[in-house]
Structure 1
Amino acid sequence: MFQHWTNKKRLLLGLFFLLVVDLLWVGSSELTEFLFKNTDYNKPFFTTYVKTTIFTLYLSGFICRKSWRQRCHCSMVYQSQAELSKILSDPVYVPINDDDGYSSIDSSDNEAVGPRVDSLADRRVRFNDHMEVRVMSEADAEEANLARLPYELFLRAQEERARVRRKYSVPVICKLAVIFCGLWFLANFSYQEALLQTEAGVVNILSSLSGLFTLILAAIWSSGPADKFTLSKLFAVLFSAGGTVMICLSDMSLEPVPIGAIWSVVGSLAYALYLVTLKRKVPDEGKLDIPMFFGFVGLFNMLLLWPGLLILHFTQLETFILPTPLQWLLLVINGLIGTMLSELLWLWGCFLTSSLLATLALGLVSPLTMLFDIFIKKVTYSWMFYAGMVPVIFSFVAITVLSHYHNWDPVLIGFKKFTKCITRLLQSAKLREMDSDVTSQLLSSQPADFYSS
């Protein structure tokens, strides 16, 4: 859809998607907090399972969109004459109605008349009384209809078909969904579990490590120039992590909770692996139908992960209890808006920008959530919150610029200039020292009477 856009337009649209996702995640976090605390339904595995299952609504596209159904089978464009008989139905003989009123003669009559015919009007051909009809399949009949179109319309139709055929087929998308459904579920479940085990501030601090993980993994498995490792990106990621620490320290009391910290790190690593690996597997977003992909992710999660509900229930780690109507309503709303729509826009934003920028967009959720508390809940924060917002926003803008200018590394350039200045200063100091040594040697080598004279 956006593959013909310029890099600048793609970057701006991707930024818009990521900012919208941040707003949706703020609302989703508020709904999750209300569901866990106010309605006393703290079931992270079940809530993640339900929200992931809602992804299957995307599979309704097979009913609404013809292009999705066409990708369920592969039609051959060029077929031999021997193969042509296989794509036609069995012959059906239909009687011919002779409405011309001519008294035509068949081949036997032609032999009787002889080779000469006196007038053109007497020349008649008598066909058989029945004609043979074979029905062509819809996919092959489309080729025949294209051949009858005017040239300009034929070119347009070919471009549209080429665009459809460039996309991955349904089996390929199913294979990708099977690979990534586990990573996606692990990342979301880890975040939910970490929220139950420790404070949100600790979770947000450790979740900021996903930017560092993404930077390292993208450098190892690079999928494009935007994933190139630079010192400027490393500085921006560390600067953003420092701002996140300041923001979270302004509204938390640090308590050592190792289990929640481990879940946070696992979730950060799973998010980074999910984004970097998917971006490498699908370098061009035009080939992947993202709604279809998420639809199969939801389907495979629903079919493969339901035994986890039974295991957690019988081990008493998470007792299964059916939600009340209010809890179901909150779950469905959160799944439709906070998961189904936001994840679609987030993955689009990742493809349009870079995996690192999409990961750093997660760091904006904490300050936006606290701004929501300031203006809606009238909560006050210390100066550390406002001071921490500066590096977070600055790092996001810096990574945006660096994603557009792939080969620009201002930190490396500044470091090289700094080292050159230091080298020049050291060299000049060494030269001055050498000059002083030479001068002292010359003075010491002069005869004593020279000074006396």
Structure 2
Amino acid sequence: MAIGLFSFSPGDPRRLVFGVLLLLLVDAIWVGSSELTKNAGFDKPYFSTYAKTSMFILYLGGFLFWRPWREQCCSHSEPLYVPIKLSDSERSSVASDLDKLESVETSPALLKKKGKVRFSNLLEVRHMSGTEAEAANLARMSYTASLRLEESHSRSANKLHPKQVAKIALLFCIPWFLGNLSYQEALDETQAAVVNILSSTSGLFTLILAALFPSSYGDKFTASKLVAVLLSIGGIVLVSMSHTNQQDQLQLGALWALCGAALYAVYLVMLKKKVDNEERLDIPMFFGFVGMFNMVLLWPGLLVLHHLKLESFVWPTPQQWMYLALNGLIGTVLSEFLWLWGCFLTSSLIATLSLSLTIPLTVLVDIFLKKVSFNWMFFMGIPPVFLSFFAVTFLSHWDDWDPVMVVLKKALHCFCHCRRRTHARSPEDLEQRESLIGIEDGSGSQEEMEGCT
């Protein structure tokens, strides 16, 4: 829907800038969403994830209010010619009228008279084919308008059919749900700051998976991207080591957060491998089918967890429903759409590293609202995370630029050159050198003796 209003060519720099702005907006939404989940007081991760994921089904309302979606479902091949159906009596009367008209037009008396125009009462209606109608419509337009219409038609022809979108949604709905469930379980076990930090390790998983299953030229593995991801991981380690209290909860929450990060990377890289361009996949339609399949397939999990006493089924209070609805509509329905859109506009690695930018916002929220104290290690880990995100953004803008590899090659060349100069010489070179040294020593001693005399 809104994607058609902000369509950019693959080489347009505005595409990358707009994608980064979308990811920054999603960061702000997710930080508020995580804090809102804490304030809701409803510690039911599976139920919360199921309820918020089911809200994606609201996107399927586009079939009622968005005409292009309905046209995709009802599109059929248009006939080149639609004949007129006539009965036998009508067909005989038409034939007689045509014979009379032909005899009148060829009569000698009519040919001697001055030419006059006579219209027959016989009317014939024909259905113009879609190709001819489109060509006639383009002929009446200006050149720029015709180019704009042809570009719009090419985009619509390249889009996936709703059946294909539904198959892709069925394939990815389970990994997406498990990734979000892991994130909710992590929020239930530890602080939101730790969860957001450890979730940013999905950059490492994304870098590895994107190199194994590349979807575009920007997904190739480079030494600079590896250094940027390791720099982000180093900042994450510093931040994680700053939390000395609640170690048991931190370990369990870290496990859930890392599991969610890996599932997010799998979901994102595989989806971009399946659909390489945002213009092919209608993202709202995709999430609408994801919500429908999750609602239909995953409701038995509520009963299973209640029977196993892992998560008791409790109906939320009206206030808790209000928190869940706001969090689901803003923190899930809207933010996931913007995040996936930003991923298609930039790259899967930039999208996953953008998760790490939630750190400063989360720190500000925890410091000013919850009075949480952090030591110097926490703040020392923030700059590397920022630096890694913007470094990968610049590296994605210049695909062939790998400064770390250039520096390594120059260092290796200098090392090999210096080693070659200090390498041991051959025996013949050593003999010649010794003889030259002996001659120089003899001449030097002779000069000294002459000087003494």
TM-score normalised by length of structure 2: 0.82
Would you say 1:367 and 2:328 are equivalent positions?
no
Contact 2:197/2:359, CA 8 A, preserved across alignment: no
**1:285: how far off?**
1.0
Show the 5 A alignment for 1:340-419. 340-377=333-370, 379-419=372-412
Show the 5 A alignment for 1:297-336. 297-336=290-329
Question: Matched residues in 1 for 2:202 and 2:150: separation?
Answer: 43
1:33 aligned residue: 38
1:195 aligned residue: 187
**1:372: how far off?**
2.2
Show the 5 A alignment for 1:53-452. 53-76=54-77, 79=79, 84=82, 115-117=107-109, 145-146=133-134, 148-149=136-137, 151-153=139-141, 155=146, 157-198=149-190, 200=192, 203-253=195-245, 255-256=247-248, 259-377=252-370, 379-430=372-423, 441-442=434-435
**1:323: how far off?**
0.5
The one-letter code of the counterpart of 2:217 is: P
The Cα offsets for residues 382-440 of structure 1, whole Å up to 9 and x where unpaired, read as 22222111101111111111111111111111111222222233233336999996698
Q: How many residues align?
A: 428
**1:446: how far off?**
7.0
Distance of aligned partners of 1:288 and 1:433 in 2 relative to their CA distance in 1, 3 Å threshold: same
**1:61: how far off?**
1.2
**1:365: how far off?**
1.6
Question: Matched residues in 2 for 1:109 and 1:412: separation?
Answer: 86
Question: Matched residues in 2 for 1:432 and 1:320: separation?
Answer: 82
Q: Alpha carbon RMSD of aligned pairs, Å?
A: 3.7
Contact 2:159/2:281, CA 8 A, preserved across alignment: yes
Question: Matched residues in 2 for 1:433 and 1:109: separation?
Answer: 112
The one-letter code of the counterpart of 1:146 is: E
The one-letter code of the counterpart of 1:13 is: F
Secondary structure of 1:217's partner? helix
**1:375: how far off?**
4.1
Contact 1:117/1:123, CA 8 A, preserved across alignment: no
**1:173: how far off?**
0.7
Contact 1:3/1:285, CA 8 A, preserved across alignment: no
Secondary structure of 1:286's partner? coil
Aligned sequence identity (%): 45
Contact 2:202/2:352, CA 8 A, preserved across alignment: yes
Question: Matched residues in 1 for 2:97 and 2:25: separation?
Answer: 79
The one-letter code of the counterpart of 2:410 is: K
Contact 1:105/1:126, CA 8 A, preserved across alignment: no
Secondary structure of 1:317's partner? coil
**1:256: how far off?**
4.6
Would you say 1:14 and 2:19 are equivalent positions?
yes
**1:363: how far off?**
1.2
Question: Matched residues in 2 for 1:222 and 1:110: separation?
Answer: 71
**1:166: how far off?**
1.7
Structure 1, 25-34 or 435-444: larger mean CA deviation? 435-444
The Cα offsets for residues 53-77 of structure 1, whole Å up to 9 and x where unpaired, read as 1111111111221111111133325
Contact 1:187/1:267, CA 8 A, preserved across alignment: yes
Question: Matched residues in 1 for 2:259 and 2:50: separation?
Answer: 18
2:93 aligned residue: none
Contact 1:21/1:346, CA 8 A, preserved across alignment: yes
Which consecutive residues of structure 2, in runs of 5 or more, have no partner in the other structure? 91-95
**1:159: how far off?**
3.9
**1:196: how far off?**
2.7
The one-letter code of the counterpart of 1:279 is: K
Structure 1, 119-128 or 297-306: larger mean CA deviation? 119-128
The Cα offsets for residues 88-136 of structure 1, whole Å up to 9 and x where unpaired, read as 8x7699x9xxxxxxxx9885799899954455799978757xx7878x7
Question: Matched residues in 2 for 1:449 and 1:26: separation?
Answer: 84
Question: Matched residues in 2 for 1:373 and 1:173: separation?
Answer: 40
The Cα offsets for residues 302-332 of structure 1, whole Å up to 9 and x where unpaired, read as 1111111121122221111111000000000
Question: Matched residues in 1 for 2:427 and 2:383: separation?
Answer: 48
Structure 1, 423-432 or 207-216: larger mean CA deviation? 423-432
Question: Matched residues in 2 for 1:109 and 1:80: separation?
Answer: 29
